[in-house]
Amino acid sequence: MPARGKRRRWKEILAVAVILSMGYLFGLVGAVVTAVVVYSVYRFQRRKRNSGLMVDRPTPKAEGFGQGASPLTNTYIDEVERRLVASGFKISRNVTLPNFTVDLVGMKSEFKLSMFGVLARFVFVASTHRLPVPVTEEVAFQFSDESFAYALDNRGGFLPRGGGGSVFSFSALVSEGSPSDELKKRIQERRGPKHWGASEFPVFVSLGDRQLYYCKKAPAWGRAYYRGQKNFVERQLAVT
């Protein structure tokens, strides 16, 4: 684990320990007051950093299917950006992951009573034009995995996942064509991996079909959260 990740992890553990200690010493009121103070410090630190966690990077040279997204795909991505900005998301363009170039990354962190803490939501949108290989189930879920790792590294704050902090990562691959029947089936049958205090939500966007393909079957545990995630995807990533 990188040194920065280790420091953040220790801060998370310390924050939970302080909240639990205050709860033990002073009861529920003490725990609530401490949690409010910790969250206030977290917000102050985010403002002080001036949202410097997400940095625009120059577009690297793409291989395989082209040097970048086509005009049709760019129009769609621009529309998604407008929706995210209207919803309060901060935007970065041309973000580099280990094996992918992401056209757009949106991030929003806010206190959510339904989550009992701070929820950091990330939206990753990448054109298949930039992929060096055809899209398969493995490629789609590798993109989701690398997007999720980026979200964990850039969520900010020090509240631990499952202890006041949560992360939702939505990863969307955008294609102008229609996916194969096999890919449609696999994407619609397979949910993202389970994580403590976090989730992955892979999506395949077909501009040709004007459809979003993802697993619509809610898990037995967390059904209400999953319904909210589906509504978010349909609202923010819809093909109009």
For the stretch 139-154, pLDDT in tens is 999 999 999 999 999 9
Distance, in Å, from the CA atom of 200 to the CA atom of 9, rounded to the nearest integer, reads: 20
With residues binned 3-state (H G I as helix, E B as strand, rest as coil), the percentages for the chain, rounded to 5, are 45, 25, 30
Judged by DSSP in three states, 191 sits in coil
Beta strand segments in the chain, E: 90-96, 101-112, 117-127, 165-175, 194-195, 198-206, 211-213
Q: Confidence class of residue 193 from pLDDT cuts 50, 70 and 90?
A: confident
At 46-90, the pLDDT tens digits run 444 433 333 333 333 333 333 456 889 999 999 999 999 999 999
Q: Given a cut of 80, is residue 239 above it in pLDDT?
A: yes
Residue 178 — φ and ψ, nearest 5°? -105, 135
Q: Given a cut of 90, is residue 103 above it in pLDDT?
A: yes
